[in-house]
Amino acid sequence: MSEYDFIIVGAGSAGAVVANRLSENPEVKVLALEAGKPRSETPTDLTTRVDNPSVWYTLLGSEVDWGYQSVPQPGLEGRVTYEPRGKLPGGSSNLYIMMHIRGHISDYDNWAYSGCPGWAYKDILPYFQKLENQEDNTSEWAGKGGPLYVANAKLHNPNPTSEAFINACLELGYPYTPDFNGSSMEGVGWHHVNIKDGKRQSTALAYLNPASLRPNLTISTNSQATRLLFDGKRCVGVEYSQNGEIKTAHANYEVIVCAGAIESPKLLLLSGIGNPAHLKEFGIPVKADVPGVGENFHNHILIGVINEASQTVPNGHLNLSECALFCKSDPGWVGPDLQIGFVHVPFNIIVGQNYPNSISILPGIVRPLSRGWLRLASGNPLDKPLVNPNYLSVEADVERLVQSVKLARDIFATKAFSGWVKRELMPGPDVQSEEQLRSFVRQNADSYHHQAGSCKMGLDDMAVVDPQLRVYGVEGLRVADASVMPVVPSGNCHTGIVMIGEKVSDLIKQEHHLL
């Protein structure tokens, strides 16, 4: 058994951060286990596509994607959704759409109010600033000099249809916001994106690669964790499968699980941490009765409204999504619950094959009320788990998605878009009544790929980790990734995941006097 001070399970959006920050201390020996292949073993055409911001969607379903699927979703008329997650160093930071969005101030204040003291916006703002290297000065809250580069799409020759979208929203009376991560998230504006010199900025590039040169950090690829190892109630290591061989590694201080909202709860369950009744189904001895493991699983949900363009839309060179509108479905919301995205390509593959010269508005619910779960499918640690986001199980989510489809149509109907829009392809002119729109939503809504919440942080009986991200019922074990988010932030959640990696690194250093 190889011996380390810290073992990190998963070198993805959060794990890469933790590996970098803990190995800053040369006296500490760190192991990062990554299930995916190293870049050197990944086909060149794939790594080229990872680097190219404008073809990110071609990575979905490739060998750098875990390729999860949901169980049939009653709220989507029994459809199965595709749930991609990155499987290579840097994890899903290699697949996501590169939009740099922290979330609304109230998202994090609500975390703190609901049992996560220390996670209010004022508490985590320094960590957002620590991770960022923002090129412009659109917000006095922006970070400078951090590992993750943040560019303003407006400054990099954006698509003219993006400008039309912004003008359309202004025409409808929505305010302009210069920076979604500044003092006002609400309104229409240009995205900040994790792109530098025309290339994707993943956490592999920003955090993992620079740290890989340190002799005290070992990055073990092709290494899928299969079980956590315990001495009594203390987690002392990890069992993992590497190229078909079962290996073990010992941790003197802690194991930090950063495997994401799907794999993290799965690993806890396989290790005997979870609901005893569920563990009993697979003959797994109970190490800790923590009923919240795999519960509270949720995700943003979106849909597409597509129009054929009346003139040729220039090819994209950034991330295809350069601007958005954040707004409220009801003025009583504390922050925006709708994200109305725009892409200068057809959102739907089938529509796109027939009408490639199309543009799409993507209405999304970013404060969803629907909650699902994650369960083991078997006792085999290499089998994928059962994934149930339970989309549109709450009626208010359906109503707000219908409302946002109507808003998308209003945006396309503005004078600002008159020179670009030829005709609606999806939902199409025949879909008009409330009942037809509800059917359209249930038949076409899809994953926003922001899976979260399945090992939620808190102080209540269903919390899996405490506000220091330590797993309840055991010692020497933390979880740090999107699974600990009690509620997913309003907007793309990658930036929040990186922040969690930064904050947990400091919590660990403080506890073990490593600062």
Residues with catalytic annotation? 450
The structure tokens 């956590």 sit at 228
| 3-class DSSP state of 412 | helix
Task: In whole angstroms, give the CA distance from residue 296 to residue 490.
Answer: 16
Question: What is the per-residue burial (b if ≥16 Cβ within 10 Å, else e) of 423-442?
Answer: ebbbbeeebeeeeebbebbb
Task: In whole angstroms, give the CA distance from residue 218 to residue 199.
Answer: 26
Q: Are 305 and 363 in contact (CB under 8 A)?
A: yes
Q: Are 378 and 279 in contact (CB under 8 A)?
A: no
| 3-class DSSP state of 386 | strand
Q: What are the helix (H) ranges across 101-159?
A: 105-113, 121-131
**How many residues appear in the chain?**
515
Task: In whole angstroms, give the CA distance from residue 19 to residue 1.
Answer: 20
* Distances in whole angstroms, Cα of residue 313 to Cα of each of 52, 61, 343: 19, 27, 11
Helix axes 121-131, 494-511, angle to 10 degrees: 100
